[in-house]
Amino acid sequence: MEREPMRIREGYLVKKGSMFNTWKPMWVVLLEDGIEFYKRKSDNSPKGMVPLKGSTINSPCQDFGKRTFVFKLTAAKQQDHFFQAAYLEERDAWVRDIRKAIQCIDGGQRFARKSTRKSIRLPETINLSALYLSMKDPEKGIKELKLEKDKKVFNHCFTGTSVIDWLVSSNSIRNRKEGLMLASSLLSEGYLQPAGDTSKAAAEGLSDTPFLDLSDAYYYFPDSGFYCEGNSSDDDVVLKEEFRGLVVKQGCLLKQGHRRKNWKVRKFVLREDPAYLHYYDPAGGEDPLGAIHLRGCVVTAVEDMPDSKKCDVENNLFEIITANDVHYYLQAASSTERTEWIKAIQAVSRTGK
C-alpha cells in the first residue's frame, strides 16, 4: 500500500491563469511531490497539479509590475506558474518549503522539518499538535505581542523566554532545560517559526540549540498573521504610506449576504489601523453592521459567480477571502472604482494590523 504524500503547506494564494492574464484566488496545497490548486478549500478534486520533479522556483518575481509578493514555479516541461501571496513573510514561507521539497526529490529524500524527537529523546507520549493548540488558546495560551528590535517592529509574535515560561507554568515540562528541548522540537516540526536574525541564526544551526530561551529571540505561530514592519528581504516594492488612524477609502458598495445570498447597499469605511473594512447602513447609524478583518486576506476581481444572474449582479464584482477562509462578495459601481477598492484593500492587508 503506497503512502499518501504529506501535506507540507496549504492556504489561499492568487494564481495567474495559464492562458489568459487573469488572477484568481486558489486554495493551494503543497505536497511532497507536487502542488495542487483548488477553486475552494472545500473542493474534493483539484483544478490542476504541478509536479515538483525537475521544477525550479524564482522569487521575487517582478514580471508583473505593481504586483508584489509574486513567485514563479517553472515545471519540468518549461511551463511557468505564477502565484501571489498576501504579504512578504507568507510568500517567503511558501518559497522556502517548495524549494526544500524540490531539493528532497532531487536527493531522493523524504521531506521533513528536521525532527528532533529522536536526537533529544522526546517522550513519545507528548502530542505536539495538542500542545500547539493549547499554546494558541486565546485565554490560557501564549500572548502574542508587538515587539521592537533593530529598528524593526514584529507583530503577532513572542519571545523565546515566554515560550519556556509558558511550558513551565502549564506543567508541560519539569525544568527549563527540558522546555528548551520541547520548544526545539516544536520549532523543527513547524509549529513555531523564527522571527528576526537572532532566532533564525539559531534555527539554521549557528547556535548550540535550535531554540533560544532569550528575551530578544522572537518567534511566531505559522498561521497567526505575523508580519514585520521596516523589513524587506528583496527588491519587492512594499507600500509604505501611513494610513494609521485615517480613513483610507469609503463609499457605497453592494454586498452579498452570507445566509440569504441577497444583495444590499452598504456604506464601507476602510481603515489601516486596525486593518478592518467596516460596513454600515447607508441610511444612518454610527455603529457598524459588521467588519471584515483584512490582515492576510486575498482580494481579487471576479468576472462571474453562480448566484449573480438571480440577483442581476453581473459586473464589477470582487471577492475578499479572509485568513479564516470567509468569503465576501462585493460589487462596485464601475470597473475603475473596483480597481481602486482592490488596490486599497491589498495595501491595508499588507501594512495593517
- pLDDT tens digit at each of 353 positions of the chain: 556 777 888 888 888 887 767 888 888 999 999 999 998 888 889 999 999 999 999 988 888 876 778 899 999 888 999 998 877 777 888 998 899 999 999 888 887 655 444 444 555 667 888 888 899 888 999 999 989 888 788 888 999 999 999 999 998 888 899 899 899 888 877 788 888 888 988 887 777 888 999 999 999 887 666 767 664 443 333 333 333 347 888 899 999 887 767 888 898 999 876 778 888 888 776 778 888 888 778 888 877 665 544 445 568 889 998 877 788 999 998 888 888 898 889 888 876 55
Give the pLDDT score at 216: 93
Strands 290-293 and 298-302, bridge-based pairing: unpaired
This prediction has a pTM of 0.51
Query: Any bridge partners for residue 269, and if so which?
Result: 250, 278
SS3 2: coil
Between CA 64 and CA 61 the distance in angstroms is: 8
SS3 57: strand
Give the pLDDT score at 209: 86
DSSP string, 226-285: -EEET--SSS--------TTSEEEEEEEEEE-SSS--EEEEEEEEETTTTEEEEE-TT--
Instruction: Give burial (CB, 10 Å; 0-12/13-18/19+) of 118.
Output: exposed
What are 345's three cell numbers? 484593500
What are 151's three cell numbers? 529598528
Between CA 163 and CA 209 the distance in angstroms is: 15
Residue whose grid cell is 444612518: 284
Which residues contact residue 223 at a Cβ distance below 8 angstroms, ignoring those fewer than 6 apart? 323
Handedness of CA 88, 91, 96, 99 (dihedral sign): negative
Query: Any bridge partners for residue 292, and if so which?
Result: 277
Q: Pick the closest to residue 141 from 165, 109, 113, 174 (CA basis).
A: 165
Question: Dihedrals φ, ψ of 56, to 5°?
Answer: -130, 155
Total residue count of the chain as it appears in this document: 353
Residue whose grid cell is 491563469: 17
Strands 48-51 and 56-58, bridge-based pairing: unpaired
Beta strands across the sheet bearing 298-302: 290-293, 276-280, 263-271, 247-256, 327-331, 317-321, 298-302
What are 331's three cell numbers? 460589487
SS3 296: coil
Centre a 10 Å sphere on the Cβ of residue 19 and count the other Cβ atoms it contains: 5
Give the pLDDT score at 119: 47
Distances (CA, A) of 228 to 155, 208, 231, 234: 6, 26, 6, 14
Give the pLDDT score at 202: 86
Question: Dihedrals φ, ψ of 298, to 5°?
Answer: -115, 130
CA count, 13 A, side-chain hemisphere, 261: 9
Give the pLDDT score at 212: 95
Give the pLDDT score at 56: 94
The separation between CA 210 and the C-alpha centre of its own chain, rounded to angstroms, equals: 24
H/E stretch holding 134 reads helix 128-135
The radius of gyration computed from the CA coordinates of the chain, to the nearest angstrom, equals: 22
